Amino acid sequence: MKIALFGKQFGDIFYEKCACLLKHLLQAKAEIYIYRPFYEFLTQTAHLKIECNGLFNGYADLPECDMMFSIGGDGTFLDAVTMIRNRNIPMVGINTGRLGFLADIAMEELPTAVSEILQGKYTTKQLDLLSLETSVPCFGELNFALNELAVQKRDSSSMITIHTYLNNEFLNSYWADGLIVATPTGSTAYSLSVGGPIVHPTAKEFVITPISPHNLTVRPLVVPNDFEISLRIEGRGGKYLASLDSRSCILDDSVSLTIRKANFTIPVIDRIGTSFYATLRSKLMWGVDRRN
C-alpha cells in the first residue's frame, strides 16, 4: 500500500503520536511518501527519525497513492486537497489539535483508527467542490474550493453591494460586509459562523449566506449545485477581497465572479461506526443540556 503524508507544523504534544503513526505504517509495510516541507519539519524540528520511500513537493510530483493522510487541522486538510485535486486519492484527516470536522481522527484514537483503515474497515464518500471563473487569472489552477468562496469588503468602513444572479436571473443585491457561497462541506465552517444552515454532506446544494447584511430580512438561501451563480460587486473602495478556502486575492470591482460545481470530487475515508450525526453531536455539542 502506498500512502502519502501531508502536514504542517504542530505542537510538541503530537510528536510522540506522530512517531507512533510512522512506526505503525512501517510495520504494516506501507510505502510512505512525505510532503517535503513536512519531512523537514519532522526531522529538523520534531527530531524524528524518518524512513520513507520518497518526497514530493506538490501536485505535479505526487506519486500515485492508495490514500493520503492529512496531519493537522481542517486548514491543513484543505491545503492537502490542493495536492491531490482530481487525482481521486482518498483522504484521511488526522487531527493534531482541537475541533476538526475534516480532520476527524483525534490523537487519542491513534493507532487504532489507522489500523482499521489499513485493514480496509472503512467506507468512502465523495465530497463536491465549487469552482470559480473570473475574467482575470487570480487563483490560477487552484480555482476551486472544498469549503467556500467568500467575497468581503477590504476595510472597516462602508459595506459592499453584491449583485447576485442564479442562472442569469437576478436574485438579490446584498448590501453587506460580504457574501459566502458554501458547499455542504463548508456549511459547517465560515457559513455556519454567520448564521448559515447545516447541510448534509451528500446533499447536492450550495448555500448562499450574507455576512452582516444591512437588511435583517435577508436570510441564507440553499440552491441546487447545478445552478450557475454570478456575482458583481460594487463598493466605495473600488476593490474587494475574494477567497477560496484559505487562498485569497484582491480584485477590482470591475471583475465579476461565476461559481459552478467543480468537475471533480474529493474521496474521503470514513471509518466504520462513524456518522455525520455523531460528528454533529460531538463537535457541535448537539443535544448537550445540563438538565439531561
Domain span holding position 159: 129-264
Identify whether 278 is part of a domain. no
- Looking at the fold, whether 243 and 167 belong to one and the same domain comes out as yes
Whole-angstrom distance between the N-terminal and C-terminal Cα of the chain? 46
Do both 138 and 258 map to the same domain? Answer: yes
Last residue of a domain, one of 64, 95, 120: 120
Q: CA-to-CA distance for 34 and 103, rounded, in angstroms? A: 18
Check if the beta carbon of residue 169 is closer than 8 Å to that of residue 177. no
List of residues 6+ apart from 199 with CB closer than 8 A:
184, 187, 205, 207, 222
pLDDT (tens digit per residue) in 218-246: 999 999 999 999 999 999 889 999 999 98
Phi-psi region of 27 (alpha: psi -120 to 50; beta: other; left: phi over 0): alpha
**Above 90 in pLDDT, residue 283?**
no
Eight-class DSSP state of 74: H
pLDDT in tens, 119-171: 999 999 999 999 999 989 889 999 999 999 999 998 777 899 999 999 999 99
Residues forming beta bridges with residue 102, ordered by sequence position:
none
Where do we find the cell 509495510?
Answer: 29
Residue 150 lies in a domain: yes
**pLDDT reading at 60 higher than 70:** yes
Same domain membership, residue 149 and residue 78: no
Residues 141 and 55 in one domain: no
Same domain, 137 and 100: no
Inter-CA distances, 141 with 74, 85, 131, 156, 206, Å: 21, 10, 10, 31, 22
Same domain assignment for residues 140 and 229:
yes
Same domain, 78 and 171: no
| Residue 287 belongs to some domain of the structure | no
Is 53 part of any domain? yes
Mean pLDDT of 162-186: 97
Give catalytic residue positions.
74
CATH label of the domain that carries residue 188: 2.60.200.30
C-alpha cell at 131: 469552482
Name the band, by pLDDT with cuts 50, 70 and 90, for residue 67: very high
Say if residue 113 is in the same domain as residue 135.
no
The per-residue pLDDT of the chain, averaged, comes to: 93
Q: What is the total count of domains within the chain?
A: 2
Identify the bridge partners of residue 201 per DSSP, sorted by sequence position.
none
Same domain (yes/no): 81, 9 = yes
Q: What is the pLDDT of residues 7-42, one digit of tens each?
A: 999 988 889 999 999 999 999 999 999 999 999 999
If asked whether residues 108 and 222 sit together in one domain, one would say no
State whether 84 and 186 are in the same domain: no
Q: What is the pTM of this model?
A: 0.94
Residue 272 lies in a domain: no
pLDDT above 80 for 51: yes
% of residues, the chain, pLDDT over 90: 79
285, part of any domain: no
Higher pLDDT among residues 162 and 289, named by residue: 162
Domain termination site, one of 58, 93, 120: 120
Tell me, yes or no, whether 211 and 235 share the same domain.
Answer: yes
Answer whether 115's CB lies under 8 Å from 92's CB. Answer: no
CATH no. for residue 63?
3.40.50.10330
CA 101 to CA 160: how far, in whole Å?
Answer: 31
Domain boundary pick from 97, 120, 143 = 120
292 pLDDT band (50/70/90 cuts)?
low
Q: Residue 178's pLDDT is what?
A: 97
pLDDT tens for residues 102-122? 988 988 888 899 999 999 999
Residue 13 lies inside a defined structural domain of this protein = yes
Q: Is residue 161 part of a domain?
A: yes
Q: What's the confidence (pLDDT) of residue 61?
A: 97
